[in-house]
Amino acid sequence: MKTAVLTVVATMWACVAEVPAAGFAAGNLVVGERFRNPVGFYDAAPTFSWQLPADGSARAQTAYRIVAASEAGLLPDRADLWDSGKVSSDRSVWVPYGGKPLASRQRVTWQVQVWDQDGRESLWGEPASFELGLLENSDWQAKWIRMGKRKAPASGATAPKIDLASGKASGGSAAFAPEYLRREFEVDGNVARARLHVTAKTPYHKRMETLTYDVTGMLRKGGNAIGAILGEGWYAGGMMGKKSRYPATKPLLLVQLEITLSGGGTKVVVTDDSWKATNDGPIRFSSIYHGENYDAGMEMPGWNAVGFDDSKWAGVIAEEAASGPALVPKRHYPVRATEELKTVKVTEPSPGRHVFDLGQNMVGWPRLRIPVEKGKRVTVRVAEMLEKDGNLYTANYRAARSTDTYTAPRTETVTWHPTFTFHGFRYVELTGLPEDSRPVPDWVTGVVLHSGFPRTGRFTSSHELLNRLYSNILWGQRGNFLDIPTDCPQRNERLGWTGDAQVFCPISLFNYDVHSFWMSWLQSVREEQHGSGLITHVVPQTGTGQGSPGWGDVAVTAPWNVYVRTGDRRVLEENYGMMTKWLGAYEREARGFIVGRGGYGDWLQPYARDRKSDTPMNVIATAYFGYCTALTRDAARVLGRAEDAERYAKQFANIRAAFSKAFFDASGKLTTPQQTQTAYLMALGFDLLEPGLRAGAVKHLLTLIEAAGGHLRTGFLGTPLIASVLDREGYTDAAYGVLFKETYPSWFYSIHQGATTMWERWNSYSHDKGFGDAGMNSFNHYAYGAIGQWMVERIAGLAPDPAHPGYKHFFIQPAPGGPLTHARAELDTPYGTAASGWEKTDAGWIVHAVVPPNTTATVYVPARDAASVMERGQPAAKAAGVKFLRMENNHAVYAVGSGTYRFRSTLPETVK
């Protein structure tokens, strides 16, 4: 079935005269990108969102009123910051604040009242709040500090020298032992409120994010102490290529503790030259790539408490902060421990070498609870895979040592994990344990780390391998969304590659609430954009180059995808300039609307001559030129930029004509030296063929797929298109065929080889041939997980409507096929939970739909005719909240309002 182009939004509820207040209220009040009661919020001009109750007591909204006050006790009648008054609107998400100007540190409490589809006035809901962080550099009294004269690294504080060109390690060099910094201070009264504002230097040269913590309960009247441990992290560590770009980077700390006393007084404690520091703490070495060395014999009990003797500690070097890069509150969730994995198996491949299998490739660190022996060092190594003899396979880590050590001062049982590193691993190897020890599974626990965004999407089906694939997609996202969208979490890279992010963005927004994650990273992309309009290959940049088609296009595709799936037009407002500058670079390079720019190509295409694929770069560059022109045209229309929209519409038509003429003959066949699936997929998927060429191009694409035995021959850029293009052109069975292949290259092939995450290559490992090229062989690389979008939006059938973004209106359009007997997707949208699912029965089909309050949906039910479709025992067209629209390609199409629906139909065996 082809996805309908016509969007129909049914107005299911009539407005009537206002009636007395009803016993319902709006809930789930959030500010900005769905933050609940944040402290240290970043935006003094926020937006507000809320949801109608899910119990059906209000199906739609016709008006709202927002009140905001500086104190909760003033609401709702004495709102001193803002009273919107009654606003006739169904808008319940991203409503902009319209009150008095807000400033740093300000606390705002707000409430919402709504009117439903019958004009009933709701009760006032529970209030929500937000508290702004420090918004300007002038708010900071603190100075950047670091330890003054450092001691020479002690034993165990060495790291390998890394040759970044070859990726090889050799010898050792002086390593960074984290700094311990402290200060004591007095509080002269009882503490009413205390906020700790803190950051460390980051690789960004224009903006640095700060965090705010409520530490009220941690302070007391009288003596207090504050301590911090400063690691090298992203900023000062030897990230791939970055040391050559930023050779003088050193870790720096910035802290400002603001205390409000019960009597009204205040006290501010800041980082300055009064602090003391040492690098003689137990963490002897730390590195994101290489791991951490911990010597428990150097622990300093009470070092962060009052009364500790720091007389032998060094002073600090203090630097002004106010004049540097912009200091702004963090815009998205910080990295958090989100889950723990138990060991499922313990082996001993060689004497004294114990391997713990967590059963899942993950990202984070191992937490140990182990016996240790005085003076002995336990070495902790990790790996994603095992060699055939049961030992760790680490060649694919390249120069990343990924090794932790723990040196024991006494014989005892300890619980420990590293702090200033993270690893990508499934297996944990322990050596150096007491000779008589007998390891048991609970000695090692996997602590999963990623940015702390909540789960929003769920997918399930009747097929075990398809469910495993979706699980692998989730784990790939969790493993690579650590503050930025990285390509991989294990080797000496872990960089914000734009190409991987570009293709994975749509499904990432379904899986988790990563709205704020993308808004923050896109801000970084804007800040790294070159004056020419080109986008760096990685963000933050590390000197890897810029401008590759399919990579830098994230500047256009990601803002559009975020807008479609959230409905937040701010992402277009903020990024429109970046989008047009990126297009401008294409425009200047184009000759007759054909772009010849080089780049990474259809990266890692199977059976290609090299890593950059067989699809010519001028085809890829021109295709993305056209695609981004079309998206920017659509963005201009949303933003009311009519002249831009018209110009980009004409430009797209010119690109399409030039693309068709340059690369295709009259039969729709490619005229390039080699035909590739990806070239056809881009031409069709980006709508770059003149109408008379499409049918022929589809035929030639199908011929290539058939010649490949029904397999894909696509890399990073072509793979996200293959299922959706085949489906849209009416060949849904072929899309299922490619997806459900179990031999190389295919998604299920890697699962049969043991994959529990997405792999960088289709054959990163095979049981018969072993491991692939270790130089480029990540076992946690989410790019090929882009197929999840088609699984959710067509297999299960839950798809957004770009004309009514953020699931204000959406499609229930399941495409049953393959060996499946049922599938279902659920999503926590800004309005509430939406769901689409289907079941195959002996008599026909059942389609399930859940439409949250204040939204509508268009539902496609497989059916021979409308008369055969029932909804809960009655003809569907007569059911409450349902309106029949038309028959389309063996589907009855309905407009529905808020509610839960169960459509049943009878249909012949085959659905097209």
Instruction: For residue range 241-266, list pLDDT tens digits in order.
Output: 455 455 567 899 999 999 999 989 99
Question: Would you state the pLDDT for residue 169?
Answer: 39
**Is residue 670 predicted with pLDDT exceeding 90?**
yes
The catalytic residue among 33, 121, 493, 839 is 493
Is residue 543 within 8 A of residue 491, CB to CB? The reply is no
**Rounded mean pLDDT, 372-377:** 97
Q: How do 809-812 and 856-862 pair as beta strands?
A: parallel
Helices (H), 463-553: 464-480, 498-511, 515-528
Query: Higher-confidence residue: 68 or 165?
Result: 68
Q: Which residues pair with 752 in a beta bridge?
A: none
Is the pTM here over 0.85, yes or no? Answer: yes
Question: Would you state the pLDDT for residue 543?
Answer: 82
**What percent of the chain clears pLDDT 90, i.e. is strictly above it?**
89
For residue 162, name the pLDDT band (cuts at 50, 70, 90): very low
Question: Would you state the pLDDT for residue 167?
Answer: 34
**Is residue 166 predicted with pLDDT exceeding 50?**
no
pLDDT digits (tens, 9 = 90+) for 201-230: 987 889 999 999 999 999 999 999 999 999
Question: Would you state the pLDDT for residue 19?
Answer: 47
**Is residue 535 predicted with pLDDT exceeding 60?**
yes
Question: Would you state the pLDDT for residue 695?
Answer: 98
pLDDT digits (tens, 9 = 90+) for 542-565: 888 999 999 999 999 999 999 999
Q: What token pair was written down for 637?
A: 């229309």
Closest alpha carbon to 478 in 444, 497, 504, 442: 504
pLDDT digits (tens, 9 = 90+) for 678-731: 999 999 999 999 999 999 999 999 999 999 999 999 999 999 999 999 999 999
Question: Would you state the pLDDT for residue 4?
Answer: 34
Question: Would you state the pLDDT for residue 20?
Answer: 53
493 assigned to active site: yes
Is residue 142 within 8 A of residue 321, CB to CB? The reply is yes
**Is residue 268 predicted with pLDDT exceeding 50?**
yes
Q: How many Cβ atoms from other residues are within 10 Å of residue 307's Cβ?
A: 8
Q: How many Cβ atoms from other residues are within 10 Å of residue 126's Cβ?
A: 12
Question: Would you state the pLDDT for residue 561?
Answer: 98
**Is residue 910 predicted with pLDDT exceeding 60?**
no
Is residue 235 within 8 A of residue 201, CB to CB? The reply is yes
Q: What token pair was written down for 743?
A: 């031999």
Q: Which residues pair with 185 in a beta bridge?
A: 224
What's the rounded Cα separation, in Å, for the pair 27 and 35? 13
What's the rounded Cα separation, in Å, for the pair 147 and 250? 10
Q: Rounded to the nearest 10 degrees, what angle do helices 642-663 and 677-685 cross at?
A: 150
**Is residue 70 predicted with pLDDT exceeding 80?**
yes
Is residue 844 within 8 A of residue 855, CB to CB? The reply is no
Q: Which residues pair with 129 in a beta bridge?
A: 109
Q: Which residues pair with 385 in a beta bridge?
A: 393
Q: Which residues pair with 481 in a beta bridge?
A: 485
**Is residue 12 predicted with pLDDT exceeding 80?**
no
**Is residue 669 predicted with pLDDT exceeding 90?**
yes
Q: Is 23 exposed, middle or buried (0-12, 13-18, 19+ CB in 10 A)?
A: exposed
What's the rounded Cα separation, in Å, for the pair 856 and 849? 11
What's the rounded Cα separation, in Å, for the pair 463 and 469? 10
**Rounded mean pLDDT, 518-542:** 96
Average pLDDT, the chain: 93
Question: Would you state the pLDDT for residue 175?
Answer: 63
**Is residue 743 predicted with pLDDT exceeding 90?**
yes
What's the rounded Cα separation, in Å, for the pair 204 and 234? 10
**Is residue 157 predicted with pLDDT exceeding 80?**
no
Cis omega (within 30 of 0) on the bond before 745? yes
**Amino acid (one-letter) located at 912:** K
What's the rounded Cα separation, in Å, for the pair 590 and 596? 7
839 assigned to active site: no
Question: Would you state the pLDDT for residue 648?
Answer: 98
**Is residue 792 predicted with pLDDT exceeding 50?**
yes
For residue 804, name the pLDDT band (cuts at 50, 70, 90): very high
**Rounded mean pLDDT, 521-542:** 96
**Rounded mean pLDDT, 173-196:** 90
How far are the Cα atoms of 242, 426, 695 from residue 699, in angstroms, in the given order?
Answer: 47, 44, 6
**Is residue 861 predicted with pLDDT exceeding 50?**
yes
The catalytic residue among 179, 209, 760, 871 is 760
Closest alpha carbon to 111 in 137, 134, 78, 88: 78
Is residue 677 within 8 A of residue 718, CB to CB? The reply is yes
**Rounded mean pLDDT, 799-820:** 98
**Is residue 504 predicted with pLDDT exceeding 60?**
yes
